[in-house]
A = this chain, B = another copy of it.
Amino acid sequence: MTDTELASDLVVYAARLVRAVRRELELPAGTRVISLLDQYGPLGITQLADLDRCSQPTMSAAVSQLVEQGWVTKERNPDDARSSVITLSDAGRDELNRVRRRHGERVAELVAAHPDLTTDDLATAVAVLRGILSEGSS
């Protein structure tokens, strides 16, 4: 199997995993946003859109929803009145932890059902996905 074939399979199976998890657990778009804020700290709308690889209007809408839910705060940037600063709230961090635990438990079940998959294998899979996505944006 070539790298190209493997890479193709990676996309297909990644898509199926996401669909399978979403069916049972709900994986709202907002989760990705608060995950990014947790990882990078406070950010503006456009920065978030770039990191999440979505359009700026999409991120605007997502942030509005998160503000309504109380999971982030949105303030004017004192250094640049055009932009905003989106900050993860404590409630948002709690939500993030809850979602992560739910997802983790569910997928960990699936992993546990396959004894031939070791923790090392799992760690490698995560490293591959994360590596692929780091900076390889264009």
Task: Encode contact with B along A90-106: 1 for CB under 8 Å, 0 otherwise.
Answer: 00000000001101111
Partner of A125, one of B1, B10, B103: B10
Contacting pair A104 B4 (CB below 8 A): yes
Count of interface residues, chain A, beta-carbon cutoff 8 Å: 65
Complex interface: stretch among A60-68, A69-77, A78-86, A108-116 = A108-116
Q: Which residues, 1 to 35 on A, are CB-close (under 8 Å) to B?
A: 1-21, 23-24, 27, 31-32, 35
Chain B residues with Cβ under 8 A from A138's Cβ?
24
On whether A11 and B17 interact (CB within 8 A), knowing A131-B117, A132-B107, the answer reads yes
Partner of A111, one of B35, B110, B132: B132
On whether A124 and B116 interact (CB within 8 A), knowing A4-B108, A35-B12, A107-B7, the answer reads no
A39 vs chain B, min Cβ distance (A): 10
Partner of A126, one of B10, B23, B105: B10
Interface residues of A (CB under 8 A from B): 1-21, 23-24, 27, 31-32, 35, 52-54, 100-101, 103-114, 116-117, 119, 121-138
